[in-house]
């Protein structure tokens, strides 16, 4: 993944930090870390990417980083680097992260409850039924912003010779949607449907995802993307 050098303001108290993720030769995806100023004035970084020293310094100019969040079992590769850059921050991950990354320091886990320092600002849904993802979806109440990792994609600008092919195979080429990988990796469709209903019941407008463009009016595409779970016809 390439280092990053700039922060882009998305809404009050929310910034995006952009990079690129190399999944395999010829396949690269845009990758985003989301920075949120919490109500206590400190900062949370959702899904840290490879920050340059310049980017880390720019983040610290906005405030003290108190929390590093690994939102699912695939978004952990740069946590060690972020922990070194922000040594006073606490790291939060899913219950399966400690097993997957035994060498990684996890200070607290999310599940049915959020840690106290996040519950003041966020509602959340644990996406059940797909334990290989073990994804946490957050709603930033103040800005009505849904923040996800891989639950939705919206990739239009592709890099890498094979990237368009991979996105077409997963049904997520140049459109805001849910990758078909979720269908393949779902072990309990009823539990996934329950989680989908909980997500759609949240009061959100904007959707920020780790891979692809931010969607300012996100209700239509999220509803359509989860229809495979909720449409019983």
pLDDT digits (tens, 9 = 90+) for 20-29: 888 888 888 9
Q: HEC profile for the chain?
A: CCCECCEEEEECCEEEEEEEEEEECCEEEEEEEEEEECCCCCEEEECCCCECHHHHHHHHHHCCEEEEECCCCCCCCCHHHHHHHCCCCEEEEECCHHHHCCCCCCCEEECCCCCHHHHCCEEEEECCCCCCCCCEEEEECCCCEEECCCCCEEECCCECCCHHHHHHHCCCECCEECCCHHHHHCCCHHHHHHHHHHHHCCCCCEEECCCECCECCCHHHHHHHCHHHHCCC
Q: How confident is the model at residue 82 (pLDDT cuts 50, 70, 90)?
A: very high
Segments forming the whole domain that contains residue 176: 7-228
Least confident of 1-15, 108-122, 206-220: 1-15
Q: Which domain CATH number covers 50?
A: 3.60.15.10
Does residue 1 sit within a domain? no
Does residue 134 sit within a domain? yes
Q: What is the pLDDT of residue 94?
A: 87
Number of domains in the chain: 1
Does residue 45 sit within a domain? yes
Q: What is the mean pLDDT of the chain?
A: 93
Does the pLDDT at position 206 exceed 80? yes
Does the pLDDT at position 89 exceed 60? yes
Does residue 150 sit within a domain? yes
Does residue 109 sit within a domain? yes
Does residue 161 sit within a domain? yes
């Amino acid at each position: 993944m390439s280092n990053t050098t700039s922060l882009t303001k998305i809404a009050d108290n929310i910034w995006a930090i952009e990079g690129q993720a190399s999944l395999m030769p010829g396949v690269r995806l845009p990758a985003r870390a989301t920075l949120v100023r919490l109500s206590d004035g400190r900062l949370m970084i959702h899904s840290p990417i490879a920050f340059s020293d310049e980017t880390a310094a720019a983040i610290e100019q906005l405030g003290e980083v108190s929390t590093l969040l690994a939102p699912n079992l695939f978004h952990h590769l740069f946590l060690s680097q972020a922990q070194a850059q922000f040594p006073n921050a606490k790291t939060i991950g899913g219950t399966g992260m400690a097993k997957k990354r035994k060498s990684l320091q996890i200070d607290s886990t999310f599940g049915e409850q959020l840690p106290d320092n996040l519950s003041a600002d966020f509602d959340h849904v644990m996406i059940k039924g797909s334990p290989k993802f073990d994804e946490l979806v957050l709603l930033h109440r103040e800005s009505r912003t849904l923040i996800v990792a891989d639950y939705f994609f919206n990739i239009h600008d592709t890099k890498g010779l094979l990237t368009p092919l991979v996105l077409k195979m997963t049904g997520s080429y140049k459109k805001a949607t849910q990758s078909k990988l979720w269908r393949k990796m779902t072990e309990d469709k009823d539990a996934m449907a329950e989680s989908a209903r909980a997500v759609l019941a949240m009061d959100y407008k904007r959707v920020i995802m780790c891979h692809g463009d931010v969607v300012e009016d996100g209700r239509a595409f999220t509803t359509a993307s989860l229809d495979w779970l909720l449409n019983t016809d």
